Amino acid sequence: MPELPEVETVRRGLEPHMRGALIVEAKVHRRDLRFPFPPRFASRLKGQRIEAVGRRAKYLLFVLSSGETWLSHLGMTGAWHVEQGGDLRDGRYYRQPDAPAHTHLNLLLERADSSRVAISYSDARRFGFMDLFADPAGNAFLTGLGPEPLGNEFSAAHLAAAFAGKQAPVKSALLDQRVVAGLGNIYVSEALHRAQISPRRRAASLVGRGGRAKAELEVLVAAIRAVLIEAIEAGGSTLRDFRTASGELGYFQHRFLVYDREGEDCPRPGCGGRVRRIVQSGRASFYCPRCQR
């Protein structure tokens, strides 16, 4: 799925359609995705107004007029689709002319100007999931998450504390959502390349002992922020089945410098190295052994 920049792009795509809208109809077409839908899910959505469309890490958070928060995680292949107007047939709202395969949830929304919009969620692999709860502070998915990488709490000092004593590779440590929330496999590879840090380094080895002109963790934090900001500005990445919430596909093309570029020349000017692919905790990492140390 979608990592933080893609989820943020989806949020921005959905917000103008959903914020302030009334959920007129809600249909769930199976009992579970990765986890079962919450009890009486559809009926708890129906009749509610959507007051806010937010994001925390890779979670979309819709605040309802009932006071409940509706959470959506896209897993690997989750996608939201928007169809102006909206047409109900046999309990399903069809996009015209082609409904996406694996649509598990359909909503019909009515906005202040009485216009209607059909929103649907599709997810081929069903690694995504949803939840609905009264108290975000008590929700198991949200508690224990690390800071937002683009927020003020994320800093070299935070990483130093999180990495201290960690023998796992920095690649794995950055994928741990308790350390920092929102990074995924692609952007970790990209950020480490920018920071010229090898994904194989033990996390603890990056914790500075002072004396260096610019600590590696400062460089890493800046690289993570820059990569995410640029990706969000590019509108998220278009890759495989990822689409923007408005259904646009191939509208933009974000280029990754090392991800999925095994064997290509290192993009760093003058480096002369070659991008390598290795596997760490079951996931592919791409890096340049020459300039990433």
Partner DNA sequence: CCACTAACCTGTAGGC
Partner DNA sequence: TGCCTACAGGTTAGTG
Name which of residues 74 to 93 contact DNA (CB under 7 A).
Answer: 75-76
- The Cα–Cα gap between 228 and 6 comes to 10
Q: Is there binding between residue 281 and DNA (CB under 7 A)?
A: yes
**Distance, CA of 54 to CA of 15 (rounded, Å):** 8
Candidates 41-49, 83-91, 177-185, 224-232: pick the segment binding DNA (CB under 7 A): 177-185
Min dist. Cβ of residue 28 to DNA (A): 16
Q: What φ, ψ does residue 2 adopt, rounded to 5°?
A: -45, 125
Assess whether 277 carries a catalytic annotation. Answer: no
Q: Which of residues 126-145 bind DNA (CB under 7 A)?
A: 126-127, 141
# residues near DNA by CB under 7 A: 38
With contacts defined by CB under 7 A, name the span among 44-52, 92-100, 130-138, 168-176 that binds DNA. Answer: 168-176
How far is CA 252 from its chain centroid? 18
Regarding 94 and contact with DNA (CB under 7 A), the answer is no
124 forms part of the interface with DNA (CB under 7 A):
yes
Q: Does 167 bind DNA (CB under 7 A)?
A: yes
Q: Which residues contact 82 (CB under 8 A, 6 or more apart)?
A: 13, 14, 17, 117, 118, 119, 245, 246, 247
Q: Least CB distance from residue 196 to DNA, whole Å?
A: 22
Q: Between 83 and 190, whose beta carbon lies closer to DNA?
A: 190
Least Cα distance to 237 among 284, 190, 270, 273 occurs for 190
Q: Binding DNA by CB under 7 A: which of 17, 55, 73, 276?
A: 73
Active site residue 3: yes
The binder of DNA chosen from 146, 147, 149, 184 (CB under 7 A): 184
Whose CA is closest to 203, among 190, 192, 213?
192
What letter would DSSP give residue 205? G
Q: Is residue 291 at the binding interface for DNA, with CB under 7 A as the rule?
A: no
Mind giving me the DSSP string for 15-78? HHHHTT-EEEEEEE-SSBSSSBPPTTHHHHHTT-BEEEEEEETTEEEEEETTS-EEEEE-TTTE
CB of 286 to DNA, least distance (A): 9
Measure the CA–CA gap between 168 and 202, rounded to whole angstroms.
6
Let me know if 190 is a catalytic residue.
no
What are φ and ψ of residue 216, in 5° steps?
-60, -35
Which CB, 76 or 88, lies closer to DNA? Answer: 76
145: its two tokens = 């998450």
* Residues known to be catalytic: 2-3, 58, 283
List residues binding DNA (CB under 7 A).
1-3, 6, 34, 57-58, 73, 75-76, 101-102, 124-127, 141, 165-169, 172, 175, 177, 183-186, 237, 239-242, 281-284
